[in-house]
Amino acid sequence: MHIPNITTGNKIEVVPHDIVLGVNGDSAQFGLLGEVHGRKIALDLNHTHTLSLFGVQGGGKSYTLGSVVEMATKSIPSINTLHKELASVIFHYSATQDYKPEFTSMIAPNDDVTQLAKLKEVYGAEPASLDDVVLLAPEDKLNERRAEYPGIQVHPLKFCSSELQAGHWKFLMGAIGNQAAYIRQLGNIMRKNRNNLSIQAIRDGIQNSSLSDSLKDLADMRLDFAEQYIDDQLNVGSLIRPGRMIVVDVRDEFIEKDEALGLFVVLLQIFSEAKYQGQSFNKLIVFDECHKYIDSPDLVKGLVETVREMRHKGTSVMIASQDPPSVPVELIQLSSQIILHKFNAPDWLKHIQKACIGLKSLTPEKLGALKPGEAYIWSSKASDNAFVSDAMKIQCRPRVTKHGGDTLTAV
């Protein structure tokens, strides 16, 4: 059994484990994902990773997502060895009000008797809750969300002008990939004002430009679109810190999916650069049910570039979806780990196999036979090469925090 020899000022328990995914040797910090034939499987939480997580509703996908988030965000006896907690962020979008984010339930401990018995018996662990959870919501929805989540701090989803770079403004104006002359002129105005990029400076630049009145109106309209997300009294980057989970809850019938993805990309970039008390720290950022908003080719290109950069910024990214064919292959290709829960459609598997040669021996029959809580996992690095050369079946562990979905899994 691999047990790293770590000595630190604080006595942190080194949780027994047999295999680590994400590194070739051992890891200074990690959390238990599950087991196979009595061997404990851990996920490295020290380096940055890009994880893809797929499966039908009810197969255990969101349950596993919660397992990864809880062990990255909080030190949990018998489940992880965590010297430095990560911050975690979950992006959630829905054009309807009834599809709530599942992860707000993590402020409560797991209370499912069957799951708790297995958690204790197999892992020696007790239930726990996340202590520091914050929710970001569009300004129009603040009162609704505060009433819905009385136990959670709710903040407006707004940015301070000084946090934003020119590329962020383009995302917020819905102007990515748009080559119109007035958009290029907006770019020039922003370049001239790069040291003082504010709504007013850009508006003044538009009025003083050589654009025709009709194009000035178009440029102003784009700026109005961005302005609803600007509040110079706020600083969204200051909200992220180690040990905190932020749920970005964009449930709004007036926010289109491209606008939601633009917001998420800007947040991803701002959060990845954020420091806490002057210190850099690692983050885990989750695009939950990403098929609902990852659509526009122009935005996807920007997203792929951004996700690729994240490994240099101490930020792990997790993509979760129950509709793999609508997730671009170029995004799945960035995966350092792929976790597959149950699904039946052969074309789903073909789509994912295009992105990863390590899944070549998987068949629709194997995936269709998975029970709730079982998954196939492939990793680009692992202390046991079996997980690199092929996807291996594991039994995912029970959660310590409360699962917010309808399906009970990992039992």
β pairing state of 153-156 and 80-81: unpaired
- Under DSSP, is residue 327 helix (H, G, I), strand (E, B) or coil? coil
Q: Report the pLDDT value the prediction gives residue 117, as an integer from 0 to 100.
A: 98
Question: pLDDT by residue (tens digit) across 311-324?
Answer: 899 999 999 999 99
Q: Which segments of the chain have a pLDDT < 50?
A: 1-9, 407-409, 411
Q: How far is CA 407 from CA 47, 61, 244, 271, 376, in A?
A: 31, 10, 25, 31, 19
Q: Report the pLDDT value the prediction gives residue 348, as an integer from 0 to 100.
A: 93
Which residue(s) pair with 134 in the sheet? Answer: 153, 246
For the chain, the domains span 48-146+246-367, 161-227
Q: Report the pLDDT value the prediction gives residue 298, as an integer from 0 to 100.
A: 78
Q: Report the pLDDT value the prediction gives residue 2, as an integer from 0 to 100.
A: 37
Strands (E), 86-190: 87-94, 133-137, 153-156
Q: Report the pLDDT value the prediction gives residue 176, as an integer from 0 to 100.
A: 75
Q: Report the pLDDT value the prediction gives residue 129, as an integer from 0 to 100.
A: 98
CB contact at 8 A, 157 and 248: yes
Q: Report the pLDDT value the prediction gives residue 171, as an integer from 0 to 100.
A: 86
Task: Give CA–CA dist 107/144, Å, rounded.
Answer: 19
Residue 403 φ then ψ, to 5°: -85, 130
Q: How far is CA 136 from CA 63, 149, 159, 270, in A?
A: 22, 12, 11, 14
Question: pLDDT by residue (tens digit) across 125-174?
Answer: 999 999 999 999 999 999 999 999 999 999 999 999 888 888 888 888 88
| 400: its two tokens | 């310590």
Q: Report the pLDDT value the prediction gives residue 327, as an integer from 0 to 100.
A: 93
Q: Report the pLDDT value the prediction gives residue 198, as an integer from 0 to 100.
A: 85
Q: Report the pLDDT value the prediction gives residue 156, as an integer from 0 to 100.
A: 96
Q: Report the pLDDT value the prediction gives residue 406, as an integer from 0 to 100.
A: 56
Judging by beta carbons within 10 Å of its beta carbon (0-12, 13-18, 19+), is residue 62 exposed, middle or buried? buried
Q: Which residue has the tokens 């430095």?
A: 84
Judging by beta carbons within 10 Å of its beta carbon (0-12, 13-18, 19+), is residue 163 exposed, middle or buried? buried
What CATH topology corresponds to 48-146+246-367? Rossmann fold (3.40.50)
Q: Report the pLDDT value the prediction gives residue 9, as an integer from 0 to 100.
A: 45
Q: Report the pLDDT value the prediction gives residue 408, as an integer from 0 to 100.
A: 46
